[in-house]
Structure 1
Amino acid sequence: MTRRRFRWWRALALAVLVLLVAVFATGWYLLAGSRARLDGELEMAGLAAPVTIARDANGSVTIDARSRADVTFALGFVHAQERWFEMDLMRRVAAGELAGLVGPAALDSDLDNRRHRLRAVAQAAYAAMTPEQKQVLDRYRDGVNAGLADLREKPWEYVLLGSTPKPWRSEDGLLVIGAMYLDLNGHGHNTRELDIARMRAALPAPLVDFLLSPDPDWEAPLTGALSRPPVLPGADVFDLRAQPAPATTAASVAAALAPALEARHPGSNNFAVAGPLTDTGAAMLANDMHLGLRVPDIWFRARLHYPDATAPGGMRDAVGVTLPGTPALVVGSNGQVAWGFTNSYGDWLDWVRVTRDPADPSLYKVPGGWATVERHAEHIHVKGAPDRVLDVQATRWGPILAKDTDGTPLALAWIAHDPHAYNLGLMQLERAPSVAAAVDLAPTLGMPPQNLLVADREGHIGWTLAGNAIPLRPFGSQPQQPADWSQPGTGWHGWAPPSQYPRVVDPSDGRLWTANNRTVDGPALDLLGNGGHDLGARAQQIRDDLRMHGVFTPGNLLDIQLDDRAVFLTPWQRLLQDTLAGTSDPALGALRKLTATWRNRAAPDSVDYRLVRAFRAEVHRLALAPLVARVKARYPGFAWPSGAGNAEAAVWSLLRDQPAWLLDPRYRNWNALLEDAARRVATALGGQPGGLAARTWGEVNPADIRHALSPALPSFLARLLDMPDTPLPGDANMPRVAAPGFGASERLAVSPGHEADGILEMPGGQSDNPLSPYYGAGHAAWVDGRPTPLLPGPARWTLTLNPGTR
């Protein structure tokens, strides 16, 4: 190589290096510029007095102010600095405005959610609030926008997206509540009741009742009796042997059954023990809310300290988790009362048959006459592409979103469509002095209806439903079936008064628990309805764990939250062993040997757990496939209804009673079906590298907790943003719920008045900036189940906000 050429290549290499350094330095500068301000002093217009914002080693924030109004402002400031992008996503998802930020990839989501017109609902809810309520949202809005403005650079996600953040509006806090309605109420689809209607149209009613029966063997209600065992329909009702084979594929049938076997639904655990069962005399509460997991976590750890004449010593000291986008402490303890939630899975959505006027389709029938369908042209901005216009047709009951089994249009009645269902009443729990007061507040809270569990420092515990929008239905109605509300005496006729809300306070054994299961029976169940209750195995295991202890500490409650024992699958392990007894097939022999020793754990290294779980899923598929195929052939969009329709009771009844008329004609008997299920497991899993012995549970149960933008980035950058993909213990039907990208979004265990002994674990960290010391902070402890303190530790950083003109 000549000297001149060498110099040329050296100059080129130096230029490339300088360019790379410049790009890296620019990126670092922009990323560093969007970090939250941690210390120093700032002047802020609108504050009545100085506010201090302290952060400990995990990024837990303590806000010390001289009024709740200033706390609200400061909380908005901190939320915006640490979580602006996630707050923006939540309001945009609820409003159907996400494509305006990220482009065509989000258009389907926007088209789906914009049908509910939740921004218009949030605006109406804000307009109907009292001046005092509006002021809270306005103060939070001002704090949020001040926090955004104080960043030297816009949040780093907007640099990548080439976008500019839009200011926070007062109604956006209500849109965040709307996002929780979407998440906790099946995204406003109500496919469960639509699929039940399809089943009833394609199969005899007694057979559908049998298939959707709850399982009394796994129920654990707080009050009332267990459900009746399923009633097996006779051959005169339905005989598979006399039915022609439907024209469906095995793959489509398997896909239709997936919701019953693999779907993950937002849920939670909470449980409480009364004062006589603790060494302090104060009651104790545990709560872990199961949601989709992300980086950073949905919740934000905070302690709020301000003067309050109703608090002990005249100072309110409340600690727990907040939801960025709202000014409320969602779950926590105020020194007098601790509170937590689980999704109730009541029936909060109904389909309404809409009868159109044949002569004028713009009219539809209502009680006593006709009304005009309202048309809303919803303009959806799409970044980098032409805007879309969505035509929303609305009735007095809700938007028209689907068709009944006979083609009749269906309008969706959903509590989230009513502005009445939105308010900031949750903030009042922050000041509740007792269980009785908290339970009385529950029916006034504008939020998705939840199981509220409370415990107080005097030793009392209580349960009720939180949420102010429980619809009243006519006695004897069938809410899980589409109905014609134009007829007299049909439809919703108001909201349940507080006197009708069921409640349990201070049960005789001093223990309460909920886990998305059926909690009541009789008239209370008629009021709440069934929107897809969990099977109950998780609740039952929690109940039984509670009964194994006589005295509790917060650590004992955490142990229950981390319980990954496979109680639910134990009967399936015995069935698999019985099925394979005496087998001469080498593959089946290996399956039998690997599951003969039952460790009874959904541990990452458990081979026996994964194999038994796969066997159960395969038995369900084979037993239900010929029935599902008949519904699927008539309604291609059918999927098995979620919740209590998981068919566990029905499948066990089939295996116990072995009715030939409900057996797939391909099999000579039910034992042949069981053997085929085992063989399919052995073939599918045994054919993978390492064979059956290498098929651990952790192989298919990694954490998979990602930042929202990481899927769109090169893998080497995505790995820097995402949490380590650690295999996790736990599964659906046990207290320790875990699945890829899903699980306990926090774990709380606390006794009010003894918060110093409390525990709070959280995945994903506090901050969304990768250069923040709090990016991913606390995540490793959550993975390992190591207790981390509820109360913030010593301050590492302190920022003071002073009243000023800025």
Structure 2
Amino acid sequence: MRRLLRVIILSGIVFAALLLVVAGTGVFVVRHSIPGYGGTVELTGLDADVEVVRDGNGIPQIYADKPGDLFAAQGYVHAQDRFFEMDFRRHVTSGRLAELFGKDALETDKFVRTLGWRRVAEQELGLLTPSTRQYLEDYARGVNAYLSTHAGSGLSLEYAVLSLKDLGGSDYRPEPWTAADSLAWLKAMAWDLGGNMDDEITRTKLAAKYPVSNIESLYPDYPYDRNEPIIATAAVTKGGTFTTATPVDEEARRGMLTKDLLKSLDTVDKVAKGLPELLGRGDGIGSNAWVVSGDHTTTGKPLLANDPHLGATMPGVWTQVGLHCNNVGTNCPYDVSGFSFSGLPGVVIGHNGSISWGFTNLNPDVMDLYLEKFSGPDAVVYDNKVRALSKREETFKVAGQDNEEKITVRESRHGPIISDVGDDERETGELAATRLKSTEAYGVALQWTALTPGRTADALFAINRAQNWKEFRAAASLFEVPSQNLVYADREGHIGYQAPGRVPIRNVGDGDWPVPGWDARYRWTGYVPFEAMPTEADPDDGVIVTANQAVVPETYPYHLTDDWDYGYRSQQILDRIRAAGKLDANAMASIQLDTKNRNAEVLVPYLLQVQINDEFDRQGQDTLRNWDFTQPADSAPAAYFNVVWRNLLELTFRDQLPESAWPDGGSRWFEVMRKLIMQPNSTWWDNLNTTQRESRDDILREALVNARSEITTKMAREPSNWQWGRLHKLTLTNQTLGKSGIGAVDKLFNRGPYELGGGSSLVDATSWNAAEDYTVTSAPSMRMVVDLSDFDKSRWINLTGISGHAFSSNYTDQTELWARGETLPWAFTRGAVEAKREHTQTFTKPEN
């Protein structure tokens, strides 16, 4: 269930926003919230003055004597630029959207409250080090200083729109920011980046109709023979530490794998005999990150690249910042620059004066669904005993209505009973009851690592301070959720990889299917020790590539997940690096823009073999001849192939799969089709809606012909006028008021469309959903290349801009550059920052 950031807009808000536009209450309201970046600001609690230097893109570089002053100023700056986004996020994470947007948001609120993100965040505060807690409080102090002098339309245009209708309310004033508000956003990111709950639910629905063997054919094994894992060899020593050494006892290793395989088969057998299992996994958000040693560079020092692929929102998910102690040392150890989240202090991805790091999603299976057998409304059965459920009441204020609404949240030992509030989860329990011939639906509980309080916030500050590989790994050991692939490089020439995170060890099963919560054998027995998590330092070949592919080979004894990306992006990056010779920052950036479609490379030879008699239809097929399989925005063959691909998936699977499981066209479907294309008489090719039996070539021919008709209707009759970017467009959409459906209102907050190249599961990952249309759904949310020989030669770019204010000059000032594949110089040293200075703002202590 990815409904959590879904925009909920009532018609009343839309109408009010339209009035704002039509009435033109004018330029003042529209521009009232745009902050000035100069002058002097009093900020309570400072030890000394703080200077904020901004360049023409509004990117702030903050200079202070003490860490507390740095983070207080960062809080103020984030509030200046993006407070509405921060306020919206905290309403999401605390299950309070209905307070702003009315009853239509209540379902989302109930689900979030049932999970208890905010409750967990509040519990985490007590686990953090005193310094981390203080930094969070300092940051909140800075945010609240801005709130003390700004309100309503002076904070953001969105508040002006809300104030015109009695929903968010004309008297709405944001409450003070707190440390827990910052921590709660980490839960939202953990939700978005972790677990396979959706896959389990889909598997269950499909298992009610299909045998498990049919389901598994849609989830191919990872192709280790073609697409390399991040670490080529992997084992755990008798002492419990990870090693890349090849295991000596091959017979023992094979015996272990056989045992594990049998255990997996036993679990699948239990599923096939009655449990309502889930099936279906769409390719989600991902990322690219890689690092090369000095052996591969023109400078003899490492280069590190990263481009996280996230939802394309307005404003973008990242904001750029530099945090600099005037005198770096024990008392003030921060000199760091990079990308952060508004609402969270520090830098999430970037570099300091000694090291650089990047993230991609490890995506281990850290969520399990447990079917709970109720014994009355207040208890469940576990280990042959009746166990009481814990219960709590949640109350919701709803804009536009006087009465509050309430729910009772029930929790088992495994976690919250999510079937009480989620339609998909409730259906999962009902399907389970049907298959197990039960007269009562099972409840469905979610066990998830992020619902256990942890110390990820400590890890972020420790990474910002780390000066070498040892300190970086020590910081990573605190990073619990969401589990990420961390790539590393330092100025001494070292490179590395570390997988941190809390990954469960299951007593029985592998987490792919829901399990009986009443059976104690399916419990989690602990977590993979950090010492045993995959890691590598200074590999012999001097290259580490992470792009959500398999992390380790099958020799690794712990189960991380079966839901890897299938490695088409990672292998293309590896191939480009190996063919490149010596790399510089520009060459690294060019790899980020690679648009080769390795799926097309497999399928086009089969498409060209199909006999098409009609000359008009054959013109489309002919565009694929001599194609180099790249997908720039102006490519005609790319346009035609992707229309064929969408039609091919529709013709092959939609007659046999429910709508919720229709192919999205990502890397899993690349691999499914790669195998299926070699089975010309598979039952998947047969169209159940016709009387005849179709084969592979029948469906390929129909896809080619249908695509010719579709692209002609959508674009042009002549293939020379086809362009992929005219179909594949990105509209940056405001998460709240940007989906009104009224053009004048949408134009206030949204930007685009932008015609793009790239595509799903390509290195330039401008993803689209083949179950819907060709619209870009996620994209590289930023791009960076860090040059460890000279940080000032590094490059960066944001998807949108620094500002969240719709008519600020920095709202989308980086987007056109991003769309063209260009980047900005990344000034780090004081001299480089001074050379780009355009605005200066000074924070000072109040005189009293």
Question: Deviation digits for residues 257-313 of structure 1, max 9, x if unmatched?
Answer: 9x87xx6622111010012222333211100011112222211111111156658x9
1:604 aligns with 2:633: yes
Per-residue CA deviation, residues 160-205 of structure 1 (Å, 9 max, x unaligned), is 111322221220001111121222237xx81201222344454333
Give the 3 Å change call, closer, same or farther, for CA 32–614 of structure 1 in structure 2: closer
- Residues of 1 paired with 2:779 and 2:593: CA distance? 11
Give the letter aligned to residue 470 of structure 1.
V
Query: Superposition pairs for residues 73-472 of structure 1, below 5 Å?
Result: 73-151=72-150, 153-162=154-163, 163-185=172-194, 190-216=197-223, 219-224=227-232, 265-306=284-325, 316-357=334-375, 360-367=376-383, 369-385=385-401, 386-401=403-418, 402=425, 403-404=428-429, 405-407=431-433, 408-420=442-454, 422-467=456-501, 469-472=502-505
Q: CA deviation at 1:470?
A: 1.9
Instruction: Please report the TM-score for the alignment, with normalisation by the length of structure 2.
Output: 0.82
CA deviation string 1:532-573 (max 9, x = no partner): 321211111111111112211111111011111223312222
Aligned-partner residue type, residue 779 of structure 2: G
Tell me what 2:700 maps to: 674
CA distance in 2, matches of 1:647, 1:774: 39
* 2:608 alignment counterpart: 577
Alpha-carbon distance in structure 2 between the residues aligned to 1:561 and 1:518: 20
Residue from 816, 819, 826 that aligns with 1:783: 819
Equivalent residue for 1:730? 758
8 Å contact from structure 2 (residues 568, 762) kept in 1: yes
Q: Say whether the 8 Å CA contact 2:733–2:750 is kept in structure 1.
A: yes
Q: Do the aligned partners of 1:335 and 1:752 also contact (CA within 8 Å) in 2?
A: no
CA contact (8 A) 2:793 2:826 kept: yes
Query: Within 1, Cα distance between the matches of 2:616 and 2:693?
Result: 21
Amino acid corresponding to residue 574 of structure 1 in structure 2:
P
The separation in 2 between residues aligned to 1:478 and 1:384, in whole angstroms, is 46
Range with bigger deviation, 453-462 or 762-771: 762-771
In the alignment, what sits opposite 1:652?
A: 674
Instruction: Work out whether residues 76 and 143 of structure 1, in 8 Å CA contact, stay in contact via their aligned partners in 2.
Output: yes
- Alpha-carbon spacing, 1:645–1:270, altered in 2? closer, same or farther (3 Å): closer
Contact map agreement 1:200 1:208 (CA 8 A) in 2:
yes
Q: How many angstroms does 1:713 deviate by?
A: 7.6
Aligned partners of 2:722, 2:104: CA distance in 1, in Å?
35
Matched, 1:513 2:545: yes
Which structure 2 residue ranges, 5 or more long, are not aligned? 1-18, 164-171, 235-256, 258-277, 419-424, 434-441, 768-775, 828-832
- Amino acid paired to 2:453: P
> CA 1:307–1:371 in 2, change beyond 3 Å: closer, same or farther?
farther
Q: TM-score, normalised by structure 1?
A: 0.86
**Residue type at the aligned position of 1:206:** S
Question: Partner of 1:782: helix, strand, or coil?
Answer: helix
Opposite residue 219 of structure 2, the aligned amino acid is: L
Are 1:502 and 2:534 counterparts?
Answer: yes
C-alpha distance in 1 between matches for 2:702 and 2:807:
54
Q: Contact 1:301–1:766 (CA<8 Å) still a contact in 2?
A: yes
Q: Show the counterpart of 2:792.
A: 756
Question: Of residues 611, 614, 621 in structure 1, which corresponds to 2:650?
Answer: 621
Change (3 A) 1:370 1:421: farther
Amino acid at match of 1:400: I
Deviations 1:670-712 (A, max 9, x none): 3222222222323333344633635431122112012332323
Contact 1:452 1:464 in 2 (8 A): yes
Give me the whole-angstrom Cα distance separating, in 1, the residues matched to 2:669 and 2:803. Answer: 42
Seen in structure 2, the aligned counterparts of structure 1 residues 557 and 48 have a Cα distance that, compared at 3 Å, is: same
SS at match of 2:444: strand
Q: Secondary structure at the match of 1:447?
A: coil
Could you say if the C-alpha distance between residues 22 and 497 of structure 1 is closer, same or farther in structure 2, counting changes exceeding 3 Å?
closer
Distance 1:618 1:480 in 2: 29
Superposed, 1:461-500 pairs within 5 Å as: 461-467=495-501, 469-474=502-507, 477-500=509-532
Contact 1:275 1:283 in 2 (8 A): yes
Shift of the 797–470 alpha-carbon distance from structure 1 to 2, 3 Å rule, reads: same
Deviations 1:71-130 (A, max 9, x none): 111100100111101111111112221121122343333233232121111111123434
Native 8 Å contact 1:125 1:423 kept in 2: no
Instruction: Give yes or no for contact 1:125–1:420 (8 Å, CA) kept in 2.
Output: yes
Query: Residue 333 of structure 1 aligns to which amino acid in structure 2?
Result: H
1:716 CA drift (Å): 3.4
- What secondary structure is seen at the aligned counterpart in 1 of 2:558? helix
Determine helix, strand or coil for the equivalent of 1:419. coil
For residues 51 and 204 of structure 1, the distance between their equivalents in structure 2, rounded to whole angstroms, comes to: 65
Residue equivalent to 1:16: none
Q: Specify every segment of 5 or more residues in structure 1 that has no aligned partner in the other structure, as ranges.
A: 1-18, 229-255
Partners of 1:47 and 1:724 lie apart in 2 by 41
Residue identity in the other structure for 1:801: F
Change (3 A) 1:526 1:382: same
In 1, the alpha carbon distance for the partners of 2:841 and 2:93 equals 33
Per-residue CA deviation, residues 55-82 of structure 1 (Å, 9 max, x unaligned), is 1111110100001111111100100111
- Tell me what 2:237 maps to: none
Q: Distance in 2 between matches of 1:778 and 1:645?
A: 29
Change in 2 beyond 3 A, CA 1:161/1:374: same
Using the alignment, how far apart are the partners of 1:603 and 1:578 within structure 2? 25
Alpha-carbon distance in 2 for matches of 1:577, 1:21: 53
Q: Contact (CA 8 Å) 1:213, 1:644: kept in 2 or not?
A: no
Contact 2:510–2:559 under 8 Å retained in 1:
no
Quote the Cα distance in structure 2 between the aligned partners of 1:350 and 1:183. Answer: 15
How far apart in 2 are the matches of 1:683 and 1:776? 36
CA contact (8 A) 1:746 1:761 kept: yes
Tell me the number of residue pairs that the alignment of Structure 1 and Structure 2 aligns. 741
Letter in 2 for 1:154: L
Q: SS in structure 2 opposite 1:455?
A: strand
How well do the aligned residues superpose, as a CA RMSD in angstroms? 3.1
Trace 1:693-772 onto structure 2 (pairs within 5 A).
693=719, 694-708=721-735, 709-712=737-740, 714-739=742-767, 740-752=776-788, 754-772=790-808
User: Does the 8 Å CA contact 1:196/1:641 hold for their aligned counterparts?
Assistant: no
Q: Does 1:804 align with 2:846?
A: yes
Identity of aligned residues (%): 27
